[in-house]
Amino acid sequence: MDIEFNKREDQNRLKLSEINRLFSEIKKGGGEKRLQKLRDEGKMTARERIEYLLDKDSDSIEIGGFAGYEMYEEHGGCPSGGVIVVMGYVSGRQCIVVANDASVKAGAWFPITGKKNLRAQEIAMENRLPIIYLVDSAGVYLPMQDEIFPDKEMFGRIFRNNAKMSAAGIIQISAVMGSCVAGGAYLPIMSDEAMIVEGTGSIFLAGSYLVKAAIGETIDNETLGGATTHCSISGVTDYKAKDDKDALNRIKNIMKSLGSTEKAGFDRIESTQPKEKPENIFGIMPVSRTEQYDTYDIIKCLVDNSEYEEYKPDYGKSIICATARIDGWSIGIVANQRKLVKNGKGEMQFGGVIYSDSADKATRFIANCNQRKIPLVFLQDVTGFMVGSKSEHGGIIKDGAKMVNAVSNSVVPKFTIITGNSYGAGNYAMCGKAYDPRLIVSWPWADLAVMGGAQAAKVLAQIQESTLKKQGKEISEEEHNQILNTITKKYQKQTEATYAAARLWTDAIINPVDTRKWISMGIEAANHSPITEKFNLGVIQV
């Protein structure tokens, strides 16, 4: 390996180390004192419950671990959105587990909590996976009720999804392991099977204080809505558990009893490791997002035996399209080539930019993968579509629209890995969050924005300075630099991988070495959901 490779490797590993350090802090939830308080009450923490429930030595992936990062600081923060979501295996069955973290504001729902719960349900619904709820929540966080309660994609959508999943035959299991109040009380009862832990679990529409205030009745919470009440009198819950582990063991037994499901039929053979080590990605990826590199080198680090079959290799070279296998699964790859390339006409094309011929090629390839029932993997490092008179006259908008159309109407599962840049319409064409990837993750150094930081900052600075000049203010060079630096710092903060993950624009920030696991588990999940739609591009400009 050359010295530049070693420098890049060191810098990129440092970036991963920083992400890991931040996540270690996030995993502490509301802090060690609050976690210990839960244990003193006879409870397990949310992460302890999940660890106990999942099969030992099995793979798992955490969805939305960075949700809420550096958000709601005026309210004390909301680590991981106050809820833990994991895709893993219980009694050998792949499933989604959702566990309220009662160490964070007693498990109360912030706006990001609702968004994260809806994302968990979306993954379960798309892939027809069983979903397990470990409930321990004080309900809606009242100081922000206007941002969580009334709209379509807010708190009430959770229960609508409960009903839709039940009607679709998607298994839902709930264990009430702490508070379950007000509207939240509907979630476990709309599940297929519900249990409650004696002594710590409680379910009611209104607690004892509110009951006293509303109707003058004096009653304690245990008598009002504890385990004995709901298992022996109301019939609201199906089982009474003596403690957390007893409830989790019962869930394991229920999962053992589930029947087999129909498969989508995605092709899989025996897995082989890449010949090029995935760890080499750290030395291949440049530290600066503007530097060039050869995307073929990245692909070789990800696919089985480092082998792929390229589609139209001599045409539309700024996008690489190829079939390959990851962990044995047959996949189609759509990747931005980040190296300067020469097209068939002998013209140089910038790396990371989508040109007309590349968009045309990608559209045809996506159609082929849909025809052959091959899941698609998008490797995003894109700065956007090519601009200028030559591109406009050549119909770049039309060709770009074809590609966006194909991505939008694709019926095979799509998975998006943001390896570097994800800017503007390039994000859309390369299957950004708005285009329903089954999973979308970023590498630690990824940038997501409408345009690059340097360009955006200059535009914003020009607008601000123009406004000041209209007010009769002269801008000195020092003031210009101060304005530019302030805007650049703020804008660049908003492009970072942590900013996107905090808002669930991505599902996770991952170690590049784990990319194969995420894609493999994602396709395995998707294989539980047979394709019922036909691929149709609709009306497009040919």
- Mean pLDDT of the chain, nearest integer: 92
Q: What is the pLDDT of residue 539?
A: 67
Residue-wise pLDDT tens digits, 206-223: 777 788 888 888 888 888
As given in the structure block, the two tokens for residue 450 are: 């409408």
pLDDT at residue 1 tops 70:
no
Cβ neighbours of 436 (radius 10 Å) = 16
pLDDT at residue 414 tops 80:
yes
For residue 276, the one-letter residue type is: E
**Which band of pLDDT confidence, cut at 50, 70 and 90, is reported for residue 427?**
very high
3-state SS string over 400-412?
A: HHHHHHHHHHCCC
Q: What is the pLDDT of residue 163?
A: 95
Q: In sequence order, which ranges of 287-349 are alpha helices (DSSP H)?
A: 295-302
Residue-wise pLDDT tens digits, 49-61: 999 999 999 999 9
Strands 308-310 and 319-326: antiparallel
For residue 233, the one-letter residue type is: I
**Which band of pLDDT confidence, cut at 50, 70 and 90, is reported for residue 541?**
low
Burial tier of 152 (Cβ tally within 10 Å: 0-12, 13-18, 19+): exposed
As given in the structure block, the two tokens for residue 494 are: 């908003």
Cα–Cα distance measured from residue 494 to residue 2, given in angstroms and rounded to the nearest whole number:
34
Cα–Cα distance measured from residue 521 to residue 91, given in angstroms and rounded to the nearest whole number:
16
DSSP symbol at 291? S
Q: What is the pLDDT of residue 394?
A: 65
Strands 447-449 and 172-181: unpaired
pLDDT at residue 188 tops 60:
yes
What are the φ/ψ torsions at residue 525 (nearest 5 degrees)? Answer: -65, -45
Q: What is the pLDDT of residue 456?
A: 64
Contact, 184 vs 135, CB < 8 A?
Answer: yes
Q: Determine the average pLDDT of the residues in 178-185.
A: 80
| 83 bridge partner residues | 100
* % of the chain at pLDDT higher than 70: 96
SS3 342: strand
Sole residue written with tokens 């150094």: 445
DSSP symbol at 373? T
pLDDT at residue 343 tops 70:
yes
pLDDT at residue 538 tops 80:
no
As given in the structure block, the two tokens for residue 235 are: 């019939």
Cβ neighbours of 214 (radius 10 Å) = 9
DSSP symbol at 149? S
As given in the structure block, the two tokens for residue 445 are: 């150094």
With CA atoms as reference, report the closest residue to 405 among 453, 343, 360. Answer: 360
- Measure the N-to-C terminal CA separation of the chain; round to a whole number of Å: 47
Residue-wise pLDDT tens digits, 434-489: 999 999 999 999 999 876 666 666 666 677 777 777 888 877 877 777 777 777 77
Domains of the chain with bracketed CATH: 1-26+264-446+506-541 (3.90.226.10), 31-257 (3.90.226.10), 452-495 (no CATH)
Residue-wise pLDDT tens digits, 300-319: 999 999 999 999 999 999 99
With CA atoms as reference, report the closest residue to 356 among 326, 395, 322, 317. Answer: 395
As given in the structure block, the two tokens for residue 522 are: 């994602």
Q: What is the pLDDT of residue 542?
A: 54
